[in-house]
């Protein structure tokens, strides 16, 4: 069913490969169904086998006055991408370019019109790709909602975006992140796409939108969780997150947590949240982030959320644990370390994989805490997990930062290293390298290097005051460098100029000896 480049409007409609009407795609589907379980087989049969109603629809393709129910299609690819970006919604792209092929027909005439598919994709921006005209009306007779020019435009965009050789499988489905990266792409239709998958991806890519959708679509679940006996909360909640067909189960529990302050109910919900499928783990991050931002406010919640994430997704659990360790107090750190190692014995930490030890070591260094037995400073095995620049920072934070000497050949350094060296340079070192630093201030192509040179000279009270001030004033106006440059300049001035530009100008130019 691989079709040779579904062509643009002026060309003939795309065609399946000879004999592919029930060929490649159908064959692949059949194998997949045999490999799958009974539930999948039944669900897939319900969608894949065309019954009389489907055959009737396919042959007639009647024009419709009212938009069909189901997925709400939006305009061109450009409009869809712009809205997705603006509103932080994923973009669902449905390639449905072969109108004489069974799966394409079934999707267009049945599944895309299914109310369940419509509900599950409500928080998406949905576009459909097809090269043909369907009637003369302003709204496409095959898909509804949009004119045929829109689905033609989408097909042209898909071809540009994903098909280097101009060939494209139809049907296929893509889920695109709001910033344009392709998060999901599946060629052919084998029954994977459906409400549960759309919800799970929504939860992963846009957790806040998914939370709103969970509130709207799972009102009955929320009501049950709010009214059941508190001791039964965990059991009810666990039943919800274990529903295979529910891509938003974890978020139903998050919504229920937001709605209750009952400690028993909350404990039950948090306990059940640990059974959330790993596919929904990212949806839990915003709530976990809030709970671990200031662990001192609610240490029990911070610990509970860390435990939830450790059960759902070990990687995310370590992320939460590191936040609590870096921000919490000593007793809480101890409890989190126990939760990570699964053991109260200090030696258990030493049995963790090197990458996990590196994460904990970094967090403890940031907290200024001593490393417990089992965690050794200088453990190099975990570098892949915690990049060296992060670990260096952790060590710098853990000790009093000391000014450093500038390296001998400044010109040989890459801008990032040069900037770091200049910002960390001691006054004596800047004085010794004044000519080189001035040359960087006046000649570097990189704004961040010029700013770092200006800050180094400002801190050392050397160099041409006017050039230093002009460079910094220009940087203050730069949206990227401005905030950081202000903070760093303020630290190097004896007084705080506040937000007054005249005061900044005066202080930046006030220099012992004039700084000619």
Partner 1 sequence: MRATAPRAPARPWALLLGLLLALAGSAGLWAGDGPTIPERRRALLEAQGDERIGFALDRLQGRIGAPEFADTGAFGDWLGALPDGRAAHPVVRLRRGWAYVTARRGAEAVELLEAALRDDAGSGLVRAYLGEALRQSGRLREAMPMLASARRTGYAGGHLRQSAEECFHGLRAGGTGKDAPALPDYAVGAEAWLAVGPDAALQALLARALLDDLAAHDTPSSERGRLWARTAAPHALDASLQPGAERLASAQLALDAALALDGEEAAQPGRTLRFDLLARAYALGTPLEREGHDLPEVLPLLAEAALAEGRPELAARLARQRLDLSESPAARRVLLSLPPDLGD
At 430, list the tokens: 């800047």
Residue 125-164 contact track with partner 1, rule CB under 8 A, x = bound = -----------------------------------x---x
Q: Are 192 and 118 in contact (CB under 8 A)?
A: no
41 vs 162 by CB, closer to partner 1 = 162
Per rule CB under 8 A, is residue 311 in the interface with partner 1? Answer: no
Residue 187-206 contact track with partner 1, rule CB under 8 A, x = bound = -----------------xxx
Site for partner 1 in 85-124 (CB under 8 A): 85-89
The residue within the footprint of partner 1, chosen from 208, 219, 229, 235 (CB under 8 A), is 208
- Minimum CB separation from partner 1 for residue 152, in Å? 19
289 vs 343 by CB, closer to partner 1 = 289
Strand partners, 187: 172
Query: What is the 3-state composition of the chain as percent helix, strand, coil, each rounded to the nearest 5?
Result: 60, 5, 35
238 vs 385 by CB, closer to partner 1 = 385
The residue within the footprint of partner 1, chosen from 119, 173, 323, 333 (CB under 8 A), is 323
Total residues found in the chain within this entry: 516
Residue 228-267 contact track with partner 1, rule CB under 8 A, x = bound = ----------------------------------------
Q: What's the start-to-end Cα distance of the chain, in Å?
A: 75
Full DSSP string of 208-237:
HHHHHHHHHHTHHHHHHHHHS-GGGHHHHH
- Segment near partner 1 (CB under 8 A), from 67-75, 331-339, 413-421, 490-498? 413-421
What is d(CA 486, CA 504) in angstroms, rounded to the nearest whole number?
10
User: What sign has the CA pseudo-torsion 15, 16, 17, 21?
Assistant: negative
The residue within the footprint of partner 1, chosen from 479, 512, 513, 514 (CB under 8 A), is 479
Total residues binding partner 1 (CB under 8 A)? 55
Per rule CB under 8 A, is residue 414 in the interface with partner 1? Answer: yes
Q: Where are the alpha helices (DSSP H) in 171-218?
A: 195-205, 207-217
Whose CA is closest to 257, among 278, 276, 272, 245? Answer: 272
Helix axes 233-241, 219-227, angle to 10 degrees: 160
Site for partner 1 in 69-88 (CB under 8 A): 85-88
Work out whether strand 125-129 and strand 168-169 pair parallel, antiparallel, or are unpaired: unpaired
82 vs 219 by CB, closer to partner 1 = 82
Give backbone dihedrals phi and psi of 355, rounded to 5 degrees, phi first.
-65, -40
CB atoms within 10 A of CB 353: 12
Site for partner 1 in 439-458 (CB under 8 A): 445-448
Whose CA is closest to 386, among 443, 326, 436, 307? Answer: 326
93 vs 105 by CB, closer to partner 1 = 93
217 vs 484 by CB, closer to partner 1 = 484
What is d(CA 191, CA 193) in angstroms, rounded to the nearest whole number?
6
99 vs 361 by CB, closer to partner 1 = 361
The residue within the footprint of partner 1, chosen from 416, 443, 501, 503 (CB under 8 A), is 416
18 vs 479 by CB, closer to partner 1 = 479
Whose CA is closest to 366, among 323, 332, 334? Answer: 323
Per rule CB under 8 A, is residue 357 in the interface with partner 1? Answer: no
- Minimum CB separation from partner 1 for residue 87, in Å? 5
- Segment near partner 1 (CB under 8 A), from 61-69, 91-99, 177-185, 498-506? 177-185
Three-state SS at 91: strand
At 7, list the tokens: 């062509």
The residues that touch partner 1, with contacts defined as CB under 8 A, are 85-89, 160, 164, 177-181, 183, 204-209, 282, 285, 289, 293, 316, 319, 322-323, 325-327, 362-363, 366, 389-390, 392-394, 397, 414-417, 419-420, 445-448, 478-481, 483-484
């Amino acid at each position: 069913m691989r079709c040779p480049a579904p062509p643009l409007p002026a060309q003939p409609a795309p065609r399946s490969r000879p004999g592919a009407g029930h060929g490649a795609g159908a064959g692949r589907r059949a194998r997949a169904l045999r490999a799958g379980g009974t539930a999948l087989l039944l669900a897939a049969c319900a969608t894949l086998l065309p019954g009389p109603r489907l055959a009737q629809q396919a042959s007639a393709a009647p024009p419709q006055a009212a938009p069909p129910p189901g997925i709400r299609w939006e305009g061109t690819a450009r409009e869809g991408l712009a809205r997705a970006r603006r509103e932080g919604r994923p973009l669902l792209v449905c390639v449905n370019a072969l109108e004489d092929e069974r799966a394409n027909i079934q999707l267009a005439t049945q599944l895309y019109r299914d109310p369940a598919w419509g509900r599950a994709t409500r928080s998406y921006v949905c576009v459909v790709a097809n090269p043909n005209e369907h009637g003369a009306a302003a709204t496409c007779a095959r898909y509804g909602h949009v004119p045929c020019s829109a689905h033609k435009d989408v097909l042209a965009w898909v071809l540009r975006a994903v098909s280097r050789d101009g060939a494209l499988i139809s049907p296929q489905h893509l889920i695109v992140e709001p910033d344009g990266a392709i998060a999901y792409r599946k060629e052919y239709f084998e029954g994977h796409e459906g409400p549960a998958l759309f919800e799970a991806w929504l939860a992963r890519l846009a957790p806040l939108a998914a939370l709103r959708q969970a509130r709207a679509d799972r009102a009955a679940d929320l009501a049950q969780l709010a009214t059941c006996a508190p001791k039964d909360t965990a059991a009810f909640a666990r039943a919800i997150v274990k529903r295979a067909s529910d891509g938003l189960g974890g978020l139903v529990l998050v919504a229920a947590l937001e709605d209750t302050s009952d400690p028993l109910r909350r404990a039950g919900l948090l306990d059940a949240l640990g059974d959330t499928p790993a596919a929904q783990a990212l949806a839990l991050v915003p709530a976990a982030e809030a709970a671990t931002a200031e662990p001192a406010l609610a240490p029990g919640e911070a610990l509970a959320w860390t435990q939830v994430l450790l059960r759902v997704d070990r990687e995310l659990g370590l992320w939460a644990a590191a936040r609590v360790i870096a921000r919490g107090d000593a007793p809480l750190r101890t409890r989190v370390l126990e939760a990570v190692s699964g053991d109260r014995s200090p030696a258990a930490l030493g049995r963790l994989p090197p990458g996990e030890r590196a994460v904990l070591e970094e967090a403890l260094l940031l907290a200024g805490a001593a490393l417990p037995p089992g965690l050794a400073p200088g453990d190099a095995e975990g570098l892949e997990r915690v990049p060296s620049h992060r670990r260096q920072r952790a060590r710098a934070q853990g000790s009093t930062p000391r000014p450093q000497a500038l390296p001998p050949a400044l010109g040989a350094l890459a801008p990032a290293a040069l900037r770091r060296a200049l910002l960390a340079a001691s006054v004596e070192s800047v004085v010794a390298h004044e000519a080189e630093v001035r040359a960087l201030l006046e000649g570097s192509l990189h704004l961040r290097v010029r700013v770092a040179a200006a800050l180094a000279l400002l801190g050392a009270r050397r160099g041409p005051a006017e050039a230093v001030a002009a460079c910094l004033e220009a940087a203050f106006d730069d949206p990227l460098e401005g905030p950081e440059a202000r903070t760093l300049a303020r630290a190097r001035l004896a007084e705080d100029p506040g937000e007054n530009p005249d005061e900044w100008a005066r202080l930046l130019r006030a220099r012992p000896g004039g700084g000619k």
